[in-house]
Chains A and B, each alone.
Chain A
């Protein structure tokens, strides 16, 4: 399932508290949370050490829309509070 990291952008500090959650899209146009990662203090840029991972096992392989919601709180700075949400269609359905 999706993983995601933060980019430093124009922030001064290079550490942020980050977590992500996975949401499965339903036909009533709701997105239902299926998993969240732990909150970790990360440097920007990714790499296996600098990631948060939310995991759920698939119950079947039917194609489904998933949204990955990343919460980034840059330490010691008032950041924008934007919570990027990306969407992908994946052969994985949890219910």
Chain B
């Protein structure tokens, strides 16, 4: 690990000033991803600005009637919050499907969003990786990629974003709130993660030095009839092969608001807008649902060894939405 300075801050402005004066500084939340990557010097910050003691913890009612989850709220506290469980149950399920009990206690909501999109080649300094060393190449494309992306990858990177939480946030139209020295700003989660393109090392649309302060869930997306289901290679404590977060409103058999997002299929949570558009406003039928799922997966570009994810994602959409409709 490279040497680094450590500062604990109590005010947001103090945190912003420290990172403005030191472009090598990084914010420290739970450290579950950052400290791990620092051990291999994949991350080598000059300074850690510990933001866990900022007054940004807790879940509160938002002005629009939705919920705002503070950035330093632990994943555990977010998942256990009664109003998250009641109004956005798929979010609670998604957080609980991630990592282990220990890591969820450490990890923060803001840090979860900022964990790196990554694969085993990224984590192995002996291998080239365009994300770690731009221009060095992507060994996953010709190599081991059975658990990599099927949507929107580029020849520069085929890794997937590992967050479960972010998949549910995508289905619920979440908004990320942040601060810079210019003041507060916000960005929809759907625009938070950048497409891979030819800059896989640039992962989010956050301006340099920006500090995430909260994630908000709009009232209009609240949906007790929602579910997160994760398929993985062992029963617990593994990244998703494919996961789906879905929220479904039905009115007299017609589909109202429907939010569907997939995990494990792209460098960011994959909002299934094609399937949503096919379902919205129509009578809910098994045939219509299968057609909607097929339409979403029509844009998939599986790699040599992960075509199974196309079938899996389609079947998961059908299974979860069917279950929700039958409740």
Q: A and B bound?
A: no
Give the interface of B toward A (CB within 8 A).
none
